[in-house]
Amino acid sequence: MIIVTGGAGFIGSNFVLDWLAHCDEPVVNLDKLTYAGNLQNLESLKSDQRHTFTRGDIGDSELVSSLLRQHRPRAVVSFAAESHVDRSIHGPGEFIATNIVGTFRLLESVRAYFSELSTAEKQNFRLLHVSTDEVYGTLGPNDPAFREDTAYAPNSPYSASKAASDHLVRAYHHTYGIPVLTTNCSNNYGPYHFPEKLIPLMIHNALAGKPLPVYGDGQQVRDWLYVRDHCSGIRMVLEKGQVGETYNIGGSSERANIDVVNLLCATLDDLKPRAGGKSYSDLITFVADRPGHDRRYAVDTSKIQRELGWRPSETFETGLRKTVEWFLANQGWVKNVTSGAYRDWVKAQYGN
């Protein structure tokens, strides 16, 4: 079996669903259920014996060690993190606590577990650390895309905390021989995306007739990766990746923010026209820029394509349409998340 951390968040829950759709290997899901964790994402697994959920912190060494000893996983796939750049600007403390200290404690628990494995189990074991392209910093318009050997130059408290965690993971391989794999992916989008990030926020605001807040001049560029393509990349790295290596995963879909929002509006105009015949793009509003806003991210994915044979199956246009369709069909999920009803449920269930 495998342990997944952060498996109630956006990418983690997609990964758990995708994993169990592809194989029967059980998953133990460890998640703290912060504001970003939502068990509703995993509702379809409610009576599925292959999935076990435990609420807890990756930094709780006692809990993590007991899970490792009890379940004896052949892999830990770690998504758990604070993930939103804007929140890291307002309050970096949680990012340091989870992304750096939490990852350190997780590594320590894994190190103790690993030391007790048999030689054969050791050979089989993997710790896969999910990270971001933001650790590489920002690019000019004509700079080549980030490669795995691009120097780290993180600019936000979020990306700095992820960079620190990547370095710790690397060090635990070099120093203690832990068989690690690291993936650095670009901006994900798709089902269960929390509506604080660009794409789900814009869909949510558009449907509510609220302004669509584009930061600065809207010319910042991101590479967009459909979340299910990311999941297939992680599965492939876990299966075939070379221990100690890092792999960039991206959608080869660079877009300026304003183009993303315009395409979203056009897709919504098509799938759910506004009353009165106006376009959703009328709601676009330019607002103050994010402090220290990285101008451009782009990911060179030739390593994972060449070595592991992975490539994304969605273009940005097909992935975005699927995403809009999912949000239109799952307005109950959005309502629950934005109303805080699921937070109430977590409190009722877990008591704090």
Retrieve residue 306's tokens: 């060449």
Sign for the pseudo-dihedral over CA of 326, 330, 331, 333: negative
The question of whether 134 is a catalytic residue gets the answer: yes
Exposed/middle/buried for 304, CB within 10 Å: 0-12, 13-18, 19+? Answer: buried
Binding span for ligand TYD by CB under 6 A among 5-13, 145-153, 194-202, 338-346: 194-202
Tell me the CB-side half-sphere exposure of residue 147, using CA atoms within 13 A: 6
Q: Restricting to residues 120-149, name those near ligand NAD by CB under 6 A.
A: 130, 132
Contact present, 40 and 80 (Cβ < 8 Å):
no
Name which of ligand TYD, ligand NAD, none residue 214 binds, using a CB cut-off of 5 to 8 Å depending on partner kind. ligand TYD
Instruction: Measure CA 46 to chain center.
Output: 22
Of the candidates 82, 134, 254, 300, the residue annotated as catalytic is 134
133 is catalytic: yes
Nearer to ligand TYD, 20 or 81 (CB): 81
- Residue closer to ligand NAD by CB (options 189, 280) is 189
Please state the closest distance from residue 328 (CB atom) to ligand NAD, in A.
21
Shortest gap between Cβ of 198 and ligand TYD (angstroms)? Answer: 4
User: Is residue 88 involved in binding ligand NAD (CB under 6 A)?
Assistant: no
Element (H, E) at 160: helix 157-176
Interatomic CA distance for residues 299 and 249, integer angstroms: 7
How many Å apart are CA 119 and CA 171, to the nearest integer? 21
Could you tell me if 280 and 274 are in contact, meaning their C-beta atoms sit under 8 angstroms apart?
Answer: yes
Number of residues in contact with ligand NAD under rule CB under 6 A: 29
Does the protein bind ligand NAD through residue 76 (CB under 6 A)? no
How many Å apart are CA 262 and CA 246, to the nearest integer?
A: 34
Q: Does 35 bind ligand TYD (CB under 6 A)?
A: no
Among residues 16, 45, 76, 80, which is the contact residue for ligand NAD, using CB under 6 A? 80
Q: How many CB atoms lie within 10 A of CB 94?
A: 16
Min dist. Cβ of residue 73 to ligand NAD (A):
16
**193-232: which residues touch ligand NAD (CB under 6 A)?**
194
Q: Rule CB under 6 A: which residues touch ligand NAD?
A: 5-6, 8-12, 31-34, 36-37, 57-59, 79-81, 83, 98, 102, 130, 132, 162, 185, 187-188, 194
